[in-house]
Structure formats: structure tokens, C-alpha cells
Amino acid sequence: MAFNFFPSYNKAGKGVDKNEPKKRGFFAFFELMGRKFWKMITLNLLYVLFCLPFLAVVFVAAGFISSSVVNMWGLSGGAENAAAAALIDLYIRFIISFMFMMFWGMGPATAGFSYILRNYAREEHAWLWSDFWQNFKSNFVQGIVVWIIDVVMMVVLYTAFMYYGNMPAPMSVLRYLVFLLIIAYTFIHFYIYQMMVTFKMTLRELYKNSLIFAVGNFPCSLRIFVILLVTFAALLTVAALPGPALFAVMAILVCIAYSFWGFVVNFNVEHKLHEYTLMSDAELKKEEK
């Protein structure tokens, strides 16, 4: 028996069976991720570039939280604490800014970003630059308003959490309610940008429907949150290692991390929105009959 280790291009191959069932869930996610990997790297670089102005503002606003933490740790006074306080302040600002960008997004930049990733999740074509730029422009006003609300909410929710945390019992229990509000507000953002680029809605409708989906699809929302949180924590752990680990983590953030996180969000959300659209179409057909 002879073994042919080299493929023959003269014989017709098996081809792709058009009736072959599509992969679902975990397998479909990584198949699409692998197929679009190099485009996602380009998209990640484009997204980070467009996020820089918004990221700078969040970095400055995060100083309100970082200065509070530095004061709470007793590092604000004395020349011997100045260097440590400055490093901790920068570290907290960077963490908050990167998490803000990952969990809540950066306004119109996230709108363009979400449109591309939504199309990838649908297995539809998207032009990286032109579609990104078009959705950045068309959703600019609404995206800016959502982003400004987020910056304000970051400060307000942190202030409320610290305020109730410093109060005596039983009022101090309210800080856990604030914590739940932060989680719920984060869940809303998994849906808000894809809805923004998919449907024509007012700002009120956008928040209302995103909240309905976030609560109605709680297992999906929780799954997205856990994946994002665990992978971000893993990057932070690696960044704390000695040697060039910090530079490797920064390279991952700039090159692929946000595309991965964004695809986790849009892949899961797209399927939920698709199910809802199919149900709505079915109900409309029933009404027409």
C-alpha cells in the first residue's frame, strides 16, 4: 500500500457541503475569530487610535477616583510618599481608563467598532475603514451623549459607593445596592452600541431597550461580564510580572484585546437580537393573518 503525502490538485476535492449545519456557540465564535483574525488586528489598531481623545478625557476624570484612593491609603502627605502616590495614581487611572473602554465603550468610536464586529458575527461583509468611519459619523451625536453620561456616571456611582460605605449601619448596606447598579449599568452597555448601529431609536428608547435586554437575557449578560472581567484580570496579573511583561500586555491591548472583547460582546448580543427579530417578525405575520 502506498501513501501519498502530497495532495493531488488534478482530482476534485470534497468541497463544502451547503447543507452542512453551521457551528454554534463556542466553536462558531473561535472559527469566526480565526477567520477574521488579521482584520481584527487592523480593527483593534483603528479603534484604539479613534479612542485616544475620549480615553484622554476619561484618564483625567479618573483622577477624581485615584486621588480619593491615594488619600484613603494615607499616601498624600510627605515627600517620601510623593513618588509612591504618583505611581499609584497613574496605575489606577490607567486601569480605570482601560476598563471604561472595555466595559462601557468610547462613544462614536465604539459605534463604528460595534458595526464591524456585528457584521462579522452575522458572517456579513464589512469594509474596515469606510464602514467604521460611516458609523462613527452617523452615530456621532448619540455616541457622544452616551459617552458623556458614562463619564458623569463613573464619578457619581463611585461617590455614592464611597459615601454609603463610610456611613454607619444600616445605611452602609446601601453601598451594595450601588454596586448592583454599577453591574446593571455595565450590562446595559453590552447591548446599547449594537442597538445604536442596528436600529433607529431615541436616546430614551436606546437605554430602555438595552435595559430590557440586559435583564431579560441575564445569563448572556453575566457570561459576557465574566469573560471580560477574567481576561482583563489575567492581563493585569501578567503585567505585574517582572521583565518585559508589561510591554507585552500593552502590545496585546493595542493589537488584539479590544477586538476580542468586542467580538465576545457582539457575537453574543447579535444572536439574542436575531432571536428577538425573528420572534417579532413571526408575531407581525400572525397579526397580518
* pLDDT exceeds 90 at position 80: no
Pick from 39-53, 60-74, 185-199: least confident: 60-74
Categorise residue 15: left if φ over 0, alpha if ψ from -120 to 50, beta otherwise.
left
Q: What mean pLDDT is reported for the chain?
A: 85
Q: Does 117 or 284 have the greater pLDDT score?
A: 117
Confidence of residue 41 (pLDDT cuts 50, 70, 90): very high
* pLDDT exceeds 50 at position 187: yes
Task: Enumerate residues 6+ apart whose C-beta is below 8 A from 47.
Answer: 109, 110, 112, 113, 258, 259, 262
Whether residue 11 is contained in a domain is answered as: no
Tens-place pLDDT, residues 197-233: 999 899 999 999 999 999 999 999 999 999 999 999 9
Pick from 66-80, 159-173, 238-252: least confident: 66-80
- Report the percentage of the chain scoring pLDDT > 90: 63
Whether residue 140 is contained in a domain is answered as: yes
CA 120 to chain centre: 15
Q: What's the confidence (pLDDT) of residue 49?
A: 97
Domain extent for 55: 37-279
Q: What's the confidence (pLDDT) of residue 287?
A: 39
* pLDDT exceeds 50 at position 125: yes
Mean per-residue pLDDT for 125-144?
95
Q: Does 87 or 287 have the greater pLDDT score?
A: 87
Domains contained in the chain, number: 1
Report whether 137 contacts 100 (CB < 8 A).
no
DSSP result, 86-111: HHHHHHHHHHHHHHIIIII--THHHH
Whether residue 13 is contained in a domain is answered as: no
CA 118 to chain centre: 13
| Nearest one of 100, 116, 102 to 194, comparing CA atoms | 116
DSSP result, 170-226: TGGGHHHHHHHHHHHHHHHHHHHHHHHHHS---HHHHHHHHHHHHHHTHHHHHHHHH
Q: Does 87 or 235 have the greater pLDDT score?
A: 235
Task: Enumerate residues 6+ apart whose C-beta is below 8 A from 92.
Answer: 62, 65, 66, 69, 70
Whether residue 27 is contained in a domain is answered as: no
Q: What's the confidence (pLDDT) of residue 54?
A: 96
Whether residue 243 is contained in a domain is answered as: yes
Q: What's the confidence (pLDDT) of residue 11?
A: 46
Whether residue 134 is contained in a domain is answered as: yes
Whether residue 259 is contained in a domain is answered as: yes
- Distance between CA 96 and CA 232 in Å, rounded? 12
Confidence of residue 4 (pLDDT cuts 50, 70, 90): very low
Q: What's the confidence (pLDDT) of residue 15?
A: 44
Whether residue 49 is contained in a domain is answered as: yes
Pick from 35-44, 53-62, 126-135, 267-276: least confident: 267-276
Of how many residues is the chain composed? 289
